[in-house]
């Protein structure tokens, strides 16, 4: 697939790869779970290291996922690729902090509504979408149709970003996970009147 193929984003001029973005975002989640556990144990050494606001089932699932992610963590780059344009609000300065704490809060709000909660994999996919990978995911959705009419420009862009014809990466699982996460998170949205 194209996970190691470099491309430069159109909006911020970031030269990166899908694998680099994956390793950086996954690494932040690993770091945060470790730091959150250490913080709780520092406050109370006799505690389990599990936050009160995270149910057992979620905490165990997060630990399993982070254990799997950690197998690739040795390959994580030290630095985030830099913006070469529009860098007035660089992502290294404005990245989300407290990702897992926010996920716990969102899931508690969903539970209160008796809705399905976000899996850590869905939250990870949504986090990846907020970075350079949105270009590839959008290219698949706009120009990577397997049937129907596709605008030639969009199809060309899809192949530029996601691989030559017959060897494309359609990010099928990622887009499925994104869709699932968006549907779940949408339960927290309030319907309002929109004027156009």
Average pLDDT over residues 120-147: 94
pLDDT attached to residue 94: 63
What's phi and psi for 15, nearest 5 deg? -90, 120
Residue 2, token pair as written in the block: 């194209």
Average pLDDT over residues 135-141: 96
Dist CA 58 CA 119 (whole Å): 8
Q: What are the distances in angstroms from CA 80 to CA 14, 95, 104, 132, 190?
A: 9, 11, 26, 11, 35
Q: Report which of 174, 54, 53, 195 is spatially closest to residue 123, judged by C-alpha positions.
A: 174
Task: Give tens-digit pLDDT for 77-94.
Answer: 999 998 898 777 777 666
Q: What are the distances in angstroms from CA 142 to CA 136, 160, 170, 171?
A: 10, 13, 11, 13
Residue 142 DSSP symbol: H
pLDDT attached to residue 93: 67
The pLDDT-based confidence of 19 (bands split at 50, 70, 90) is very high
Q: Report which of 159, 163, 129, 123 is spatially closest to residue 143, judged by C-alpha positions.
A: 159
Average pLDDT over residues 17-41: 93
């Amino acid at each position: 697939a194209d996970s190691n193929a470099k491309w430069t984003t159109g909006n911020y001029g970031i030269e990166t790869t899908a694998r680099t973005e994956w390793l950086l975002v996954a690494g932040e989640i690993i770091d945060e779970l470790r730091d959150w556990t250490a913080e709780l144990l520092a406050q109370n050494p006799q505690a389990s290291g599990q936050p009160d606001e995270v149910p057992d089932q979620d905490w165990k699932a997060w630990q399993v996922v982070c254990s799997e992610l950690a197998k690739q963590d040795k390959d994580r780059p030290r630095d985030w690729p830099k913006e070469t344009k529009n860098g007035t609000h660089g992502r290294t300065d404005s990245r989300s902090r407290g990702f897992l704490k926010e996920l716990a809060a969102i899931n508690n709000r969903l539970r209160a509504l008796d809705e399905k909660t976000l899996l850590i994999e869905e939250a990870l996919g949504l986090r990846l979408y907020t970075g350079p990978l949105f270009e590839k995911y959008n290219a698949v959705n706009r120009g990577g149709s397997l049937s129907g009419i596709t605008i030639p420009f969009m199809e060309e862009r899809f192949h530029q970003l996601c691989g030559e014809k017959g060897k494309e990466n359609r990010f099928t699982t990622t887009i499925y996970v994104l869709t699932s996460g968006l549907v779940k998170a949408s339960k927290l949205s309030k319907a309002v009147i929109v004027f156009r």
